[in-house]
Structure 1
Amino acid sequence: MPQDIVFSFFLIFAGALVLATFALYTRQPILVAYIALGAIAGPYGMGWIEHPDELTDMAHIGIIFLLFLLGLDMQPSSLFAVLKKAMSVALLSSLLFFGVGAGVTHLLGYGFMDAIIVGLALMFSSTIIGLKLLPTTVLHHKHSGELMVGLLLIQDMIAILTLILLGVLSGESDQPVWQPFLALPVLAAACYLIVKLILLPLIQRFDRYQEYLFIMAIGWCLAVAEAAAVIGLSEEIGAFIAGVTLATSPIAQFMAISLKPLRDFFLVMFFFTLGAGVNLGMLEEVLVGAVLLAGAVMTLKPLTFRVLLGRFSETPKLAWDVGFRLGQISEFSLLVVFVAIESALLTERASLLVQATAIITFVLSSYIVVFNYPNPIAISDKLRRD
């Protein structure tokens, strides 16, 4: 029987209201409530939503809007400056995380290819967790916010190359490794010209019509995201480029404010589908390994970023802040696992190991940030910053 989309939305948002209320009363991070709801209502829990994968694409739109909003508040000059510093840190840390992930997985008794792919999955930190828990003033107007955006963007590029590599290994992709490096500047230049020659004149002429500007923002974001996917980049990078090229527009802030509720709508769905996708019946098989991997990730990532950023003249306080905010694995890790499973390069047991590690690091990392660093959903009034 086809899944009732209206019932699914009712269950997700009514259930999120109940659990979020409980989370606030018990002083817990709201994100944890959304993940818990997915585990309860999903196919491995009560089974109220049998096919959460049908909601995954819609949930993914929240990530696209998140990156678009980031781009709207980042001037190109600031972006280039921070990427130069973040490049070395992102590359060195990714190599280290890969080695640790592959080594621990191999010691747990998994096969060679399983260890390699789990190592690849552990290289990345979560864009959603990292940026969702940053106060807006830090994200858009402070160096630490720009630095985190730079690190996550470079990790996104590494993730794209990883997905291309997996496609080559499986024989299902003939896309050359160099293609993203050529596609990125071409897409950015094309977007700059379109904004300058077409969108800005339209904005100047019709800036009184707020509905028109709202439609333009969504259309431009999704158009560039799709164009990026076609030429071998990710939708997230395309959305970010769409935002950056519009950042100099006088109505960029209006677009950002207008799209925030839409972004949050889809991000609730993302965390729900994340919780619903975990096979609770098989969890016991990988629980010990997932706890060990999660412990390694949450110990190593903050320490690594502290050391590497410290070597680039960042203050210890800022380096620890960035390190703990990036102390988890990523939604890209889950995509790497999905592609590897589809290509028969990864066993189901290793796939569940990564999924369980993702859930553990998402939840515990959220707790660490919410209770210790300024963030929009802090329980303490002292730490709450919107």
Structure 2
Amino acid sequence: MTDIFQSFFIIFSSAAVVATLALWGKQPLIVAYILVGMLLGPFGFGFVSDLELLRQISGIGIIFLLFLLGLDMQPSALLSTLRKSTVVVLLSSLVFAGLGAILAFSFSFSTTDALIIGACCMFSSTIIGIKLLPTTALHHRHIGELLVGILLVQDIIAIILISLLQGTDSVDNAFASALYILAMIPLVAGGSLIAVRFILLPLLAKFDRFQEYIFLLSIGWCLGVAEVSELIGLSREIGAFFAGVSLASSPISQYIALSLKPLRDFFLVTFFFALGAGYNFALLEEVWLVSSLLAISILVIKPLTFRTLLRKQSESNRLAWDLGIRLGQISEFSLLVVFVAINAGLLSEAASITVQSAAILTFLVSSYLVIFNLSNPLSPKDSLRRD
């Protein structure tokens, strides 16, 4: 059994070697990190065995990612983006949920399994979507705002679903839980804005000469709002996002963003490693066909659906295809839904492996599609690489 230092040594040393080979062969780094996890995790060679610890550490990377995303989103722009995105997300979610459930039913999964598999198909990856979105090129343009809005609405739906799976035992309780979550979101957002205006901004103005203080205050603010959000029944990820949004109007927001990017990338490497390490090859024989069909269906239907819905909203054909391809995968939130459903005794192991297999396949293929065809920070092609 490895300790935390040995785990980090194995993860980052092996990732560095494989990343070098990947760049040499003009392959995407995300794929390299996932494959390293598969090889060295408990179902591969077993060099890193404590997956639960890795998942907790890698979750910090997602929190910082959403915090930095919020720093690029002005509150007024966020409200406008959510209005444009909600209809697209609701209609597309019905299509994707129906697709996954029908496919699961056709392979004789139980009703509960099929419904949860369908629900897992509704969400696109925040990690893939945002990690492969050029910061300087797109975050302040319409396409970046629309992508963020779609992912945010999907994340809210995922949070509601996870909350319902965790603790409701009747329809009335489920409805009450959903209403509670919807009521808490504006409370967190409004409370964050008030705290920033009357506490953080005066502190930043008084001590802006001390870079270490700005770094510590921004991390404390991000993690503090994330933890409060978790305590009141939302998620740390949503709290971190609103912590960033509340600071976006500050003139020092871009300095904070630049300071935290290396810290975010450190934790995100462990996220992709943990994703690959959690894959159980022994069960693949049972579900390889349904997993492959589910992944192929998602990779084809999601871009087409988003393209159609965005065109209906008068978006350009180029933008609609670009967003459709960037959103054409299963989400890391889907894996969290699977984890919660298994703990609640609602999902079979075969259904769990089906979703995990399809998720990893869509992560890999979608990464290739974006990296070799669209503007992104990780492309081996100079013509497509945008920071």
TM-score over 0.5 for the alignment?
yes
8 A contact 2:306–2:324 mirrored in 1: yes
8 A contact 2:329–2:366 mirrored in 1: yes
| AA partner of residue 229 (structure 2) | A
What's 1:296 paired with? 297
Q: CA-to-partner distance for each residue in 1:313-371, whole Å, 9 max, x for gaps?
A: 10010000000000000000000000110011000010000000010000000000001
How far residue 175 of structure 1 moved from its aligned partner, in angstroms, is 6.5
8 A contact 2:2–2:47 mirrored in 1: no
Counterpart CA distance in 1 for 2:225 and 2:175 is 23
How far residue 188 of structure 1 moved from its aligned partner, in angstroms, is 1.4
Counterpart CA distance in 2 for 1:237 and 1:330 is 15
Counterpart CA distance in 1 for 2:43 and 2:169 is 30
Counterpart CA distance in 1 for 2:123 and 2:336 is 11
Counterpart CA distance in 2 for 1:177 and 1:274 is 29
The SS at the match of 1:141 is coil
How far residue 169 of structure 1 moved from its aligned partner, in angstroms, is 5.1
Counterpart CA distance in 1 for 2:359 and 2:168 is 24
Counterpart CA distance in 1 for 2:87 and 2:242 is 22
8 A contact 1:164–1:175 mirrored in 2: no
Q: TM-score, normalising length from structure 1?
A: 0.98
How far residue 276 of structure 1 moved from its aligned partner, in angstroms, is 0.1
User: Which runs of structure 2 are paired with 1:87-236 in the superposition (5 Å)?
Assistant: 87-168=86-167, 176-236=177-237
What's 1:241 paired with? 242
How far residue 138 of structure 1 moved from its aligned partner, in angstroms, is 3.6
Counterpart CA distance in 2 for 1:173 and 1:82 is 28
8 A contact 1:170–1:345 mirrored in 2: no
How far residue 164 of structure 1 moved from its aligned partner, in angstroms, is 2.1
Moved more, 272-281 or 136-145: 136-145
Counterpart CA distance in 2 for 1:176 and 1:74 is 28
8 A contact 1:131–1:139 mirrored in 2: no
Counterpart CA distance in 2 for 1:232 and 1:59 is 21
The SS at the match of 2:50 is coil
Moved more, 84-93 or 188-197: 188-197
User: Which runs of structure 2 are paired with 1:237-276 in the superposition (5 Å)?
Assistant: 237-276=238-277
Specify whether residues 284 and 169 from structure 1 end up closer, same or farther in structure 2 by C-alpha distance, changes over 3 A only. farther
What's 1:80 paired with? 79
What's 1:20 paired with? 19
8 A contact 1:19–1:33 mirrored in 2: yes
Q: CA-to-partner distance for each residue in 1:244-289, whole Å, 9 max, x for gaps?
A: 1111111111100000000000000000000000001111211111
What's 2:3 paired with? 4
Specify whether residues 319 and 124 from structure 1 end up closer, same or farther in structure 2 by C-alpha distance, changes over 3 A only. same
Counterpart CA distance in 2 for 1:3 and 1:95 is 44
How far residue 141 of structure 1 moved from its aligned partner, in angstroms, is 1.2
Aligned length: 385
How far residue 170 of structure 1 moved from its aligned partner, in angstroms, is 5.5
Counterpart CA distance in 1 for 2:136 and 2:354 is 36
Counterpart CA distance in 2 for 1:291 and 1:28 is 22
8 A contact 1:302–1:327 mirrored in 2: yes
| AA partner of residue 47 (structure 1) | G
Identity of paired residues, percent? Answer: 56
Counterpart CA distance in 2 for 1:218 and 1:175 is 33
| AA partner of residue 124 (structure 1) | F
How far residue 140 of structure 1 moved from its aligned partner, in angstroms, is 2.0
Moved more, 171-180 or 98-107: 171-180
Q: Does 1:323 align with 2:307?
A: no
What's 1:36 paired with? 35
Runs of 4+ with deviation above 6 angstroms: 171-175
8 A contact 1:43–1:49 mirrored in 2: yes
Counterpart CA distance in 2 for 1:273 and 1:175 is 34
Counterpart CA distance in 2 for 1:272 and 1:289 is 24
8 A contact 1:167–1:173 mirrored in 2: no
Q: Does 1:379 align with 2:377?
A: no
Counterpart CA distance in 2 for 1:234 and 1:51 is 23
8 A contact 2:81–2:145 mirrored in 1: yes
Q: What 5-or-longer segments of structure 2 have no aligned partner?
A: none
Counterpart CA distance in 1 for 2:177 and 2:51 is 33
| AA partner of residue 11 (structure 1) | I
Q: What 5-or-longer segments of structure 1 have no aligned partner?
A: none
What's 2:364 paired with? 363
Counterpart CA distance in 2 for 1:280 and 1:96 is 30
